[in-house]
């Protein structure tokens, strides 16, 4: 006899592995006596059943059923699978709100993938900005990130339309974002809706007050105790301890605001948040050089931090690699909230990693001004149709994940970092001619020369470890004479970590995930030493000083 039911092929498959527990839930009702269904994970042709279980005692009223599926011991890992709900008896069945989770990071309910979270944690992140980007604003007020509709019972969240053409269930809501940050050992950097949507609709003055209150309530949810309304709600939702919040961003990319309302909206929100939470550092989403830069000259407006976003090619990163060296130290601090070298698809190539690393030397060297930065976007599904943005940091499919060369540059910069910048002076750095690219033609830029080498050094004041980072942007080895001044003693053997490739267009893929990865070795160093840096390379020398 033929079976009747529902089949779901997942997001290009399901991650099937041996001896794995999958937790699920479904709402069911039926008018049939003795109604039951079978839920299963099967091969695409239905001939192999990896795991199955029955759900019985289905009644006439909606009821949620939780279930578990456990695969056998000898299964070859595959993503070519489907999830099935099959009726065991004739009759009518009503089905809604079906969920299925593989094991999650830290075993969180409604949690995140273990492999992706592990890769993020390996970057040693200090914060997570969320909800971030256009997702915060939405195309309309009804489509904004309405955080109050994203907390509590996951099954009761209405969801909303995202600005990128798909519906978000809001299964990943505010508390899930907060847990994500906590699980990585990072703190949240919270972006609050500021009364402006992507289609240009905006509110200010008295009309903005409900959204200002929403932002204050949101901060209370994140940081409040049991004696506060929204702190108590967070505790009820399952997180007793307040989260460690220091930074709040007001809006997103408001340099696109053609209404001219951001100065007023920012002022209103800044003053209200500071009045209740004076300890918080507030971030403006208008930066220098934008059409909204006049906000910086508005009387009475205080800019603590400005958010600057940069999506560039590698050549533009080389041109900008000293951008903050002459920044006004009396001006607002900088949060580089979105940036990336956009070369390679769906994830970046080695040339992008070189551009990223050159830019990171600039930000690290000027960390008295650039207080934080984050690459964007982080994840991309590599299946055809799964990408909406070229050049992402990490690729994945239903079964596996991998890091791009840019990802490994992030890992190196995030893990070999001191707490003090060491001044570096350089002489006779060779230059090379940048080829003109498509973006140059659009901007009317002229041919230019840029350095072949980029560098930064930091020191751990407790251990005396110095991390010297050098980026060689060209396809020839570079021999550098290095002099270290001010150290009484230097251990002659240093750790060397090198990311390099024979060709700048080389990359990692889902099928070849580790073609370009950091390689550790040792290097001879001293107060004066010579070192050869490989072509197309990002190198860290971890030097112990005493």
Q: How confident is the model at residue 366 (pLDDT cuts 50, 70, 90)?
A: very high
Q: What is the pLDDT of residue 57?
A: 95
The 10s digit of each residue's pLDDT in 488-511 is 899 999 999 999 999 999 999 999
Q: Is the pLDDT of residue 292 over 70?
A: no
Q: What is the pLDDT of residue 286?
A: 81
Integer angstrom CA distances of residue 325 from 307, 310, 318, 329, 426: 17, 17, 14, 10, 14
The 10s digit of each residue's pLDDT in 45-70 is 999 999 999 999 999 999 999 999 99
Q: What's the residue count for the chain? A: 546
Q: What is the pLDDT of residue 299?
A: 75
Q: What is the pLDDT of residue 446?
A: 75
Q: Which tops the pLDDT comparison, 313 or 255? A: 313
Q: What is the pLDDT of residue 377?
A: 94
Q: Which tops the pLDDT comparison, 107 or 132? A: 107
| E strand or H helix at 410 | helix 405-415
Q: What is the pLDDT of residue 269?
A: 96
Contact 431, 451 (CB under 8 A): yes
Q: How confident is the model at residue 305 (pLDDT cuts 50, 70, 90)?
A: very high
The 10s digit of each residue's pLDDT in 75-89 is 999 999 999 999 999
Q: What is the pLDDT of residue 297?
A: 67
Per-residue pLDDT averaged across 346-365, rounded?
98
The 10s digit of each residue's pLDDT in 4-49 is 999 999 999 999 999 999 999 999 999 998 899 999 999 999 999 9
Interhelix angle 209-223/262-276, rounded to 10 degrees, is 40
Tell me the percentage of the chain whose pLDDT exceeds 90.
87
Q: What is the pLDDT of residue 436?
A: 74
Contact 530, 477 (CB under 8 A): no
Q: What is the pLDDT of residue 33?
A: 87
| E strand or H helix at 256 | none
- Strand-pairing partners, residue 381, are 396
Alpha carbon distance 451, 433 (integer Å): 9
Evaluate the omega torsion of the peptide bond into residue 377 and state whether it is cis, within 30 degrees of 0. Answer: yes
- pTM, 2 dp: 0.95
Q: What is the pLDDT of residue 293?
A: 56
Q: What is the pLDDT of residue 287?
A: 64
The 10s digit of each residue's pLDDT in 370-395 is 999 999 999 999 999 888 888 999 99
Tell me the percentage of the chain whose pLDDT exceeds 70.
97
Contact 230, 220 (CB under 8 A): yes
Q: What is the pLDDT of residue 7?
A: 96
Integer angstrom CA distances of residue 404 from 28, 341, 399, 474: 43, 12, 17, 19
Per-residue pLDDT averaged across 521-525, rounded?
98
Per-residue pLDDT averaged across 113-133, rounded?
95
Residue 353 sits at φ, ψ, to 5 deg, of: -65, -35
Q: What is the pLDDT of residue 63?
A: 97
The 10s digit of each residue's pLDDT in 416-446 is 999 999 999 999 999 999 877 666 677 677 7
Alpha carbon distance 496, 524 (integer Å): 9
Evaluate the omega torsion of the peptide bond into residue 131 and state whether it is cis, within 30 degrees of 0. Answer: yes
Alpha carbon distance 422, 363 (integer Å): 14
Angle at 137 between CA 135 and CA 139, to 5 degrees: 90
Contact 21, 107 (CB under 8 A): no
Q: How confident is the model at residue 464 (pLDDT cuts 50, 70, 90)?
A: very high
Per-residue pLDDT averaged across 169-190, rounded?
97
Residue 259 sits at φ, ψ, to 5 deg, of: -80, -15
């Amino acid at each position: 006899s033929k079976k009747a039911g529902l089949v779901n092929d997942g997001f290009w498959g399901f991650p099937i592995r041996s001896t794995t527990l999958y937790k699920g839930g479904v709402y069911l009702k039926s008018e049939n006596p003795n109604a039951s269904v079978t839920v299963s994970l099967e091969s695409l042709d239905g001939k192999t059943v990896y795991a199955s279980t029955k759900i019985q005692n289905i009644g006439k009223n909606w009821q949620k059923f939780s279930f578990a599926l456990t695969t056998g011991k000898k299964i070859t890992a595959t993503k070519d699978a489907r999830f099935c709900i099959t009726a065991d008896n004739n009759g009518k069945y009503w089905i809604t709100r079906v969920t299925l989770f593989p094991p999650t990071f830290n075993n969180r309910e409604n949690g995140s993938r273990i492999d992706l979270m592990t890769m993020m944690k390996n970057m040693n992140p200090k914060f997570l900005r969320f909800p971030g980007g256009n997702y915060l604003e939405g195309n309309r007020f009804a489509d904004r990130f309405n955080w109050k509709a994203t907390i509590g019972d996951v099954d009761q969240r209405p969801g909303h339309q995202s600005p990128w053409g798909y519906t978000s269930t809001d299964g990943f809501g505010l508390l899930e974002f907060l847990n994500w940050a906590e699980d990585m050992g990072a703190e949240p950097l919270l972006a609050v809706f500021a009364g402006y949507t992507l289609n240009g609709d905006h509110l200010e003055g008295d009309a903005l007050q409900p959204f200002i209150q929403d932002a204050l309530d949101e901060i209370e949810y994140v940081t409040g105790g049991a004696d506060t309304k929204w702190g108590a709600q967070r505790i009820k939702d399952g997180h007793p301890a307040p989260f460690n919040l220091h930074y709040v961003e007001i809006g997103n990319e408001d340099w696109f605001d053609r209404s001219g309302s951001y100065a007023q909206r920012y002022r209103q929100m800044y003053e209200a948040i500071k009045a209740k939470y004076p300890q918080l550092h507030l971030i403006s989403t208008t930066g220098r050089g934008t059409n909204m830069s006049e906000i910086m000259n508005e009387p009475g407006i205080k800019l603590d931090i400005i958010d600057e976003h940069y999506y560039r090619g590698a050549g533009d990163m080389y041109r900008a690699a000293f951008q903050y060296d002459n920044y006004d130290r009396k001006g607002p601090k900088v949060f580089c909230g979105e940036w990336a070298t956009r070369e390679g698809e769906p994830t970046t190539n080695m040339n992008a990693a070189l551009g990223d690393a050159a830019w990171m030397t600039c930000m690290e060297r000027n960390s008295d001004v650039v207080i934080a930065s984050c690459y964007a976007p982080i994840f991309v599904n590599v299946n055809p149709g799964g990408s909406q943005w070229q050049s992402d940091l990490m690729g994945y499919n239903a079964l596996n994940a991998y890091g791009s060369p840019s990802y490994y540059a992030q890992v190196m910069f995030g893990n070999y970092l001191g707490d003090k910048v060491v001044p570096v002076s350089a002489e006779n750095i060779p230059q090379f001619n940048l080829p003109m690219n498509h973006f140059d033609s659009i901007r009317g830029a002229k041919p230019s020369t840029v350095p072949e080498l980029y560098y930064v050094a930091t020191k751990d004041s407790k251990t005396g470890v110095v991390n010297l980072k050098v980026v060689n942007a060209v396809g020839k080895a570079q021999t550098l004479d290095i002099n270290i001044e001010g150290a009484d003693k230097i251990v002659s053997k240093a750790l060397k970590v090198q990311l390099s490739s024979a060709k700048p267009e080389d990359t990692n893929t889902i099928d070849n995930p580790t073609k370009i990865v950091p390689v550790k070795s040792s290097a001879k160093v001293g107060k004066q030493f010579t070192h050869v840096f490989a072509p197309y390379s990002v190198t860290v020398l971890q030097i112990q000083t005493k």
